[in-house]
Amino acid sequence: MLKQRIVTALILAPLALFAILFLPLQGFLLAVAVVMALGAWEWANLTGLTIGIFKSIYTVLILGICLFLTYSIPIEAIWVQGQLNAVYRWILSVAALWWFISLALIIVYPRYNSFWRTSVFWRGSFGILTLIPTWVAIVTLRTSLYDVEPLYGASLIFYVLGIVWAADIGAFFVGVKFGRLKLRPNVSPGKTLEGLFGGIAASSAIIGFAALHYQVEYSRIWIHLLIGGLTVAVSALGDLNESMFKRSAGCKDSGNLLPGHGGLLDRIDSLTAAFPIFALCYVSWMA
């Protein structure tokens, strides 16, 4: 199992780096759309769509929405005079509302979940609200200031990845050592409040370094710390969200696409919440 995890990571990490740094923007948009489509294939399992044809239809739906946005809104129209396209911004705003609703669902779980637990429509809709804004957020960040500095958007993506991964590592070690207060034991028994705070503390180092790297004015550093902390906190929500749906579906992993790692969603669940919220904050207060 460990060998499989290492081999998979050694293959995927260079591919991800290459896509973020070297793919032309159009190719990058399509590559991320394919990743969201693979996530949709796994999300279909969480909705109860176990028959191949129905899983395929759901996957094509997610891919089709991404492709529609790709070709209906040209790359040069995503950002115009420092302003994000209205459709993209609307999708990010809807994502913020969805994650607020998701928080409420997690808090009350397993009570009051009868309206969605057995409903393919609702669980399928939750997947759309999770995956499409993730694509929009990644595209939003990657295309930011592209005409001025082609790799600036890539640095934003690496920033989000860095603080989320640092938070995961910090949460794991602090949670193992000091974890006592469970976040939501009915959803994910291993997550603790101490681990969450440990993750936020670990990510603060990267947030501070990034603020210095981008030469942020001292009077605005608090905004970066606040947005970074919010992004990390929401990333934990993404993890809990998928755990809730997996528990309702009675499965341990979202799929088996990644040998040794389980499903793709199991690896990006935190990012599906972190990217949209960070992108919305970036567009609103940092761009």
Query: For 98-113, how does the pLDDT look when each residue is reduced to its tens digit (9 = 90+)?
Result: 999 999 999 888 887 8
Cα 284 to Cα 287: distance, rounded to the nearest angstrom = 7
Joined tokens for residue 161: 């990845």
Give the per-residue pLDDT at 261: 57
In the predicted structure, residue 1 carries a pLDDT above the cut 60: no
Confidence of residue 4 (pLDDT cuts 50, 70, 90): low
pLDDT at 83 over 90: yes
Q: Which residues contact 102 (CB under 8 A, 6 or more apart)?
A: 126, 237, 241, 273
In one letter, which amino acid is 261?
H
Please give the share of the chain, as a percent, with pLDDT higher than 70.
93
DSSP 186: T
How far apart (Å, rounded) are the C-alpha atoms in residues 214 and 193? 31
pLDDT, average across residues 268-275:
94
CA–CA separation, 164 vs 207, rounded Å?
Answer: 11
85 close to 79: Cβ distance less than 8 angstroms: yes
Residue 149 exposure: Cα atoms within 13 Å on the Cβ side: 7
d(CA 137, CA 88): 8
Maximal C-alpha separation, the chain: 55
Mean pLDDT of 231-236: 90
- The dihedrals phi and psi of 111, each to the nearest 5 degrees, come to -75, 155
Q: State the average pLDDT over residues 139-167.
A: 93
Q: Which has the minimum average pLDDT: 40-44, 105-109, 245-249?
A: 245-249
Does position 57 have pLDDT exceeding 90, yes or no?
Answer: yes
Q: Judge whether residue 34 has pLDDT over 90.
A: yes
**Would you say residue 286 has pLDDT above 90?**
no
For position 26, what pLDDT does the model report? 95
Mean pLDDT, residues 72-77: 95
Whether 259 shows a pLDDT value over 70: the answer reads no
Which has more confidence, 34 or 263? 34
When pLDDT is cut at 50, 70 and 90, the band that residue 86 belongs to is: very high
pLDDT > 50? residue 2 = no
- Cβ neighbours for 133, distance < 8 A, ≥ 6 positions apart: 91, 92, 94, 95, 98, 275, 276
Place 287 in a pLDDT band, splitting at 50, 70 and 90: low
Residue bearing the bigger pLDDT, 98 or 50: 98
Residue 260 has pLDDT above 60, yes or no: no
Instruction: Report the distance separating Cα 126 and Cα 236, nearest Å.
Output: 17
In a 13 Å sphere around the CA of 95, the CA atoms on its Cβ side amount to: 30
Strand 79-80 relative to strand 83-84, pairing: antiparallel
